[in-house]
Structure 1
């Protein structure tokens, strides 16, 4: 299997970082680390985990009914924004004490709004973004409206209202933010970026609308569920495609391939292309902070791959399905979670299990994000 010519090693942020001391009453003395693992479980609780000890520090009760478990940490790591109430509301928690410092409700008596996973924070932490999918509520039917990007000021605190909205495509889920251009990444049928001040949209990578079909490529199926990559400042979108080397539908000659689009969220540099043979299902890909050619995947297995060589290096069978994966900034530990109530901790070199974190309820589709507390 040959790598796509369009794929180059992603330009990643440096992994060396001075250990940060915690300020004020912030995080308790027992949590003397700068990285915290955040996730949500049913019935509806945000959990804050100390990644140095892999112990649960605190659990915050989230108002409303469980939604998708979406979490977006603030750039300074101190606030966790949680999507709740069946994908309609967002609540911001001070992770040191579970105090609610931000809230917004997207629906009104005349309009129901759902944000299908989509939530992101600007690089300076001043704005929060969601993609709203509204329907007008009539007495006997719903009327579907144009989706829109909604911009909120995080400083507005409780009961915040949108300060700007812009029309966007349908089917947008996973969001990100490019610091260099102050654009929101829109993960949908294609990967696009929108200027959150002007609403101007540009295409970053064509996926379902790519122009490779005449060459025998099947438009890819992109997975746009979990937002990961803060350990190195990356937005990553995996996809699956087929290359017909014979007649379309000829399975004997076809290549089944994994591909990915990666964006450096600091510079906006993008790489995209096919990287590995499709051998088993992977829900999410995660880049090794010490080697951009190495990625890890999770679902029914935890796997390690060299995408420059197109090789699978190691596979570790898991006791059940895990939807999500994340990693520390220094590359010392992998966390595999989602689906059930346990987070499995693994050695990146061997993939062997080195720990487990038991939570009070199942994570289902929840995010598993890294909050990096800064001075």
Structure 2
């Protein structure tokens, strides 16, 4: 080969290598960035880079600790946290910790509590809470009707509700659908139109009609971490008896769930696995809707298509909630204490840990995905 041809060949190979390297860099630059969000005492929002499992920044939330419940905007840039003893909502740009929204819900004469209920509309324009108000009289408290409060996020700091509508009691977790409704997790799962106040039953639970052999379900949504599968899960426990005598010792005990597709607002209700241990929260594997993970004193993996528990990992203490990476490979288990336990989703083996500055107690564990 002539020397000039050798240089040309080397130059071509170098160009190809450089091009491949630039493509890899560009691909990395364009990759989605996932952040794990949670709140700890005394009252701080932690933004954790899930590519390194390191705390990227910590945002101070005004006032005392609330419940740590939060909602994340669909573009992943903002988190809205329920604080001040369950009364106020504060919104932060998680990239800078700038507070961009606040809603003080109580007044000198009416105290408002929102029990875990905060959600953001799919278009990012509205924020929703369920307000449970009491009126303060000189000699007594008067319990007022619960209501859905609608805020315009663009109103920024010190926002006031632009609309309110009466809703049921016992509502905890709520979520906004892409069809414009707000899912209300209460005795039954309902949906409300936040423009008109019109409601519909999504799934009957306390009021289901399954005959005399089924125990009405015990349902409660403290945490609903469904952003990776774009869903809302209301777990419940029920039992099927072998006779109308309702012998609790011979009954079949089941975990079940109402699962709402937030893209369509449609729901499915089913018994998932036999009741063998307490599960405080379920999440779905984003790669397979039949695979669920649960947490409390154990981390567990289940196949609901066969009603089987596939794996169980004993935890060193109680963990109220969990979440999952977008690729479905990594489980994050948190809440209750000051550590987040990291696990391989295939085996449930522990692969890491994140130590925080305070207890999470009832706080959510959310994933914010910022897409380029």
**Over residues 66-91 of structure 1, what are the superposed CA-to-partner deviations in whole Å (9 max), with x where a residue is unaligned?**
01111111111111111100011001
**Over residues 116-173 of structure 1, what are the superposed CA-to-partner deviations in whole Å (9 max), with x where a residue is unaligned?**
1100000000000000001111111110000000000000001000000000001111
**Conserved in 2, the CA contact under 8 Å of 1:88 and 1:106?**
yes
Q: Distance in 2 between matches of 1:248 and 1:40?
A: 47
1:190 to 188, 191, 210: 188
Q: Which residue of 1 aligns with 2:6?
A: none
Q: Which residue of 1 aligns with 2:152?
A: 153
Q: Which residue of 1 aligns with 2:10?
A: none
Residue 57 of structure 1 and its aligned partner are, at CA, apart by 0.6
**Conserved in 2, the CA contact under 8 Å of 1:326 and 1:335?**
yes
Are positions 1:107 and 2:106 aligned together? yes
Residue 249 of structure 1 and its aligned partner are, at CA, apart by 3.3
Q: Which residue of 2 aligns with 1:9?
A: none
Say which structure is richer in helix: 2
Residue 21 of structure 1 and its aligned partner are, at CA, apart by 5.0
2:217 to 220, 223, 232: 220
3-state SS of 1:215 partner = coil
Q: Distance in 2 between matches of 1:280 and 1:36?
A: 30
What does 1:88-99 align with in structure 2 at a 5 Å threshold? 88-99=87-98
Runs of 4+ aligned structure 1 residues displaced above 2 Å come to: 18-22, 246-249
Total equivalences in the alignment: 347
Q: Distance in 2 between matches of 1:252 and 1:19?
A: 58
Q: Which structure is higher in RCO with an 8 Å CA cutoff and minimum separation 6? A: 1
Q: Which residue of 1 aligns with 2:197?
A: 199
Q: Distance in 2 between matches of 1:159 and 1:290?
A: 41
Q: Which residue of 1 aligns with 2:18?
A: none
What does 1:214-253 align with in structure 2 at a 5 Å threshold? 214-253=211-250
Q: Distance in 2 between matches of 1:295 and 1:133?
A: 32
Residue 248 of structure 1 and its aligned partner are, at CA, apart by 3.3
TM-score between the two structures when normalised by the length of structure 2: 0.91
What does 1:305-344 align with in structure 2 at a 5 Å threshold? 305-344=302-341
TM-score between the two structures when normalised by the length of structure 1: 0.90
**Conserved in 1, the CA contact under 8 Å of 2:69 and 2:116?**
yes
Are positions 1:261 and 2:258 aligned together? yes
Residue 178 of structure 1 and its aligned partner are, at CA, apart by 1.4
Residue 20 of structure 1 and its aligned partner are, at CA, apart by 8.4
When residues 81 and 19 of structure 1 are mapped into structure 2, their CA distance, relative to the original with a 3 A threshold, is: farther
When residues 128 and 318 of structure 1 are mapped into structure 2, their CA distance, relative to the original with a 3 A threshold, is: same
Residue 253 of structure 1 and its aligned partner are, at CA, apart by 2.6
- Mind listing any 5+ residue stretches in structure 2 that lack a counterpart? 1-25
**Conserved in 2, the CA contact under 8 Å of 1:20 and 1:34?**
no
